[in-house]
Structures are given as C-alpha cells and as structure tokens.
Chain A
C-alpha cells in the first residue's frame, strides 16, 4: 500500500505554497475577510496558475486530475493560506454546471469563469425551513399558458448571492407540499423583477458572505431551465459526496496550519522555567491533535481513492465529513488553547481558523445528517444475512 504522494502531487504542493507566498499574507487575508471577498486579480491568478482548471473536465479546457489530486490541491491551499478561500466552491459549481447545463449555459459560464476565475452564479438550495430537510422546500414554480414559469419562495445561506449575476435555484414544480419531490433547477438572472436579497452576517468564513433571497412571482423562461425537468433533486445530490470530501480537505489543511503554529509555539513558550511542550497536558493536546490530523488525512485520501476507483462512497463520504469536520474544529480549538490568552486575540490566526472550521460542521451537510446517512448504511452493512 503506497501512502506517498507522487512527484507530480509533491510539485503541485510546492506550486501552491509558492502561489500562497506570492499572493497571501495575514494582513491581506484579514483585509479580504473584512471586505467579504478576494480581489478578482487573485482569483484570476489562481486560474492562470492552472489550479482553477483542475477538476474541470478536459473537454472544457480542464486539466486531467483524479480526485485524490484534487484533494491534495485543496488541502494544500487550506494549509498554505490558513484560511477559507472560495476556490473549492468555485470549482464544484463549475463542475455542476458543466454536468447539467445546456450548450448555451455552459458556454456563458465557462467564458465568465475564464475571465474572472469565479463562476457567475451562486447556489440557491436551502430555505429557512428546509436545510437538512430539503424535501420541505416550498419555493415553487407554476407553469403558465405562454410557456413561462412563475417562481415564488425564499432561499437562504446563498453564498455570494448578493454579488453574482445569476443564481442556480432549485424549486418544486406546482405543489409546495412536502410529499412533492418534483424539483427543477433554474439558472436565474438576478436582475429579474421580484428578486430581492438581504445580507446575513456570518461569524466565520467571512470571505464568502451569504444572504437571503426573496422570490416574488419571478417570471422564468424555458431557456433558464438547467438539466431535465423534475430531476433537480437528483442533480443537486450528485456532487454532494465530492463536496463533503473537499470541505474536509480544506479544513484539514487549515487545521494543520493551526497545529504548525501551536506546536512550534509550545517549544518556544517558557513557563515555570521550561518550554510548555514539556508539560504533560500540552503533550496530551499535541498528541490528540496529531492523531486527529492523521486520521482525517488517512480517511480523506482513502475516500477519494475509492471515488477514483468508481466505488460507492455513500457511507464513507458521510463518515469522513462527520469525523473530519469535528476533528478539525477540535484541533483548532486545542491550538488556540495552547496559545492561551494570546490565542484569544486577533494577534494570532488561531481564532479565525477556529471560527472558520466550526462552520464546516454545518456547511455541506451537518454532523447530524452525516450520522443519519451513516447510521442507515451501517445497519444494512452489518446485519447478519
């Protein structure tokens, strides 16, 4: 069993580190968090450096890249920046559109992506009453005699919804009732009549703000349809497993950055006449942290490997998200604890990393939903035949 990275993957990590060295520092990152966004020049540079083409199918100009390598890229960016960057979301959104969009939609989105380094659409899936329970969504379209559709409802946690000119919205057809699972996807221009947004303020991951979206009798036309009618739910779920893995990859990189800081500090900080690294409780923290980092890493790459092999990862991707998101938050929390008073200030980045990672226990599927997915699968898997 070969656990090593290939030369190519190692060179990729070197390139990511070099990229981060040139474009990022704590001052810039904190400023971008305050400003709620990266300068376009940076997302362009990410694309020009080739990273933004990884994970995109070759026929659309993408670089051939297996899922393990995509994981390596994502972890490396998280580690090198110690921050949440929009890149993984950008790539996933583009993959969705390339998968499901028609020729015109694909061309429009790809052109924009090549220009700016980010997609031109946000994702409108969750609602105030329908996050984990997405079958409870009540946004609904009603087909009209002239072939148009009237869309009404509300979406929330729409990342970059206030900034981007389009929104990929999932809505039920005709009947908002829970029992109706006929959902359709639409690429909706944000300048249509009846669309309003309202900002929400996150406590972490603030470089990517999200918002509420109000849809009041918005007139949609058939050219806005994405994928097959009534197949929206399945389409939405398709890339969920990859998203879970990449969220963990990013979080792992950031947790590792927190560990790098805290473990080094523990060897330098002197109390009671010696480095705190010699105190047993600190040794305990460092051991727990390292175990969580290595476990998360092993499980992450195993799951990505399984995906590359075409194996089903319905249970494993949920297991990874469940374990990894929480483990990384705990690593960051322990890292902050090692810095003690200093860790509780903005003089170090541990607080930012901890707040960011806390969000990953919710984003991309909550811990509780992951347990629900695993639990059902485990019962099936272990039942005696």
Chain B
C-alpha cells in the first residue's frame, strides 16, 4: 500500500537545559571538535531516564521526544494525546518544519500546512483585507488562491464591516475569528493543527470543529493535538499517546482515548496514599477509595441502575475534632466533562470528624450513569462560617477511575444507550 502520506521514523529531539550564552561556547567548540573527528557528542548521554518534569536530573540535556515512529495514511485524522510536557508540541514543530529533529527522519507526501497558532504574521497596522492576503501567503497560499476564496473567508469570519479597519482596532474575538477563517480555507493535503480550537466563543468553536470535519471529509489528512478528549473522539480516526516524550500507544482514536485514561488510571492505581498531586493542608487524608456492592464485595465495575457504595478510608493527623467539614465529589466522564456532583452541604449533611481513622460511606441507591469510563475527584474542606472561603484539607483530582456497564434501568428489556446520565421521564401523547 502506498497511501501512507506521513512516515515518522525514530524521531527524537534533544534540548539543552539552562542558559545559552556564557560558558556554552567552550562546550560548543568541544562538541564540534568531537563530531568533526567522527566521535560521539560528548554531551549527549543516552540511556538516562527521560523525565522532563523531574528536577533532579543530572543531565543538562533532555529529550523532548524520543524514538517516535508512526505512520499516517491518507484521509486519516490523527489525534495526538498527552499531558503537558509529553512532547506533543515539539512533535508538531518538527512535523511542521519549524525546527529540525535531532535524530530520525520524517517522510511526507503532499503539501503540508500547519496551524500552530492563528494569525501568524498579522501586522497590527494593516487592515483586515491586507492581513488576509499576508497571512494566507505566509501559510503557503498563492495570491490567486486567496483572491478566489476571499469572500468565503470574510463570510466565515463575520467581520465584514471592519474588513478595511486596521486589525489593531479589532476586538480579540474578531481578530481570532479572522485569523482562523484564513487558516480554515487553506487547502493542503495535510493539515497540522495545534489546540487553536480553544479560541472564540462556543458558537465559533463549533464552527471550527465543523470546518475541520469538512476538511477531513474531503480525503485530506489531518493531525490534531488536543487536551479535549471529546474533540479527539469526535474528529479523529486514529490516535497516538505520548508520555515523557515516548510513544505509549498507537491505534484507533477510541482506544487511544480509553488507553490514555487507562494510563492515567494506572497512575491513580498507584494507590491513593502515594499520590503526590494532592492539594490541601493534609490534616485529614483519604487513604483509600473504592466502591462496594450490596453484599459488601469490592466492585470493579458498576452497572447502570444498580446499588453501589463509595467508601473513603480516612486518617486524621491532628488531635481533636474538625468541623464544620464539607465533602464534595465530582464525577467526570472520559471527555473530562462533569457528569454530576455530590456535595454534603447541598444534601444538608453536616460533617464532623472526631475519630483518628475511619470510613466515610457514600451510598448510591441507583447509579444513574450510562455506560462508559468515569473518574472521581473529591475534596474535603473546612469552612469556619458562612462568609469564609473553603479551606481545602484534602483534594485529589481523578483520584479513582471506574467503569459503568450499560444496564436495563427501565426494565423494558432494552440495554440503555451509552454516554450521559439516565433521566427520569414519562412521555404522554395527547
């Protein structure tokens, strides 16, 4: 098959930490001398743990991405998923030729256009019209192409009235809309998009997503980076996961998303006690968190409509009782969208913890979530009085992940659809 349009082979990119300038000229000469004699770069140590976030690394060299290999076929929409610092942006920069890789190579078939930012090269003093042409040319369009699409671009941006006004007088929303409109009308065979969709109001975002869908629908190849799982799922056909600069997973978008959550879940599985990403004073700490069923058995998977009990095992470090306490539990779906919240103050429950350790049991008579993967974020806080703000005692984001299996909640013999929560409703015909 020769419909592979991008072939990435063993791509790596290395950065030097610290200042460029004083002291580096000697290193530079030394390195140059070694390479000139055909020796290895003396400052390039391979085999050390590649963790960009750890501060105690001995090396002043870091691999932003390392040994990445994947292929993209024509017409595919590839989502690149990863946490901050996983190397997504570096990979995009290499793909869009802003910077060269340190190792490996990338082979590309067709014209690439990259959108790492909207409005690149906009000149504040020029009018919207002039900037459309300039920006279009920077992105690789010819003047003829821009001219033929000019009306479409203006229409899409919705800034028709201000098209002859210098863009420095635009509101930031107008500016971004105009900039995206130009970018959206590029017609490359391969489009590389960074999280530019995080701009504009909801309506405009929807328009952009729609436009991107159009692009991919025309048999063009798109590479898309986002934190937004819903967008990745909705748009992409394929997905890869990066972690600490390494390729963790490559496959279809759906399984990439769940694998991403799975890998975070693994992180959560490190057991709650060991989690380092806690917030709060820590005078009370939740040490374990799990679901049990009616008979007291630990549940790994919940079933829609059935009973479950969420158990918090806590330990109090300070002496004496703390009150008034508030406990909040947030349940998010796999697109990181909040599905529901359970809060003690809302339920009218006043909380007081006296014992040094014990259990907090949250009883859920019927799980009203549809099938899918969900996460639990909890927060225990203290509030001295009505006016005071919450003082966080213990809070862990995505402390636990759990799966909900689709059930037959309405008892009609039909399995419920996935996604969302179950809404009680009756339908009457009149």
| Same complex | no
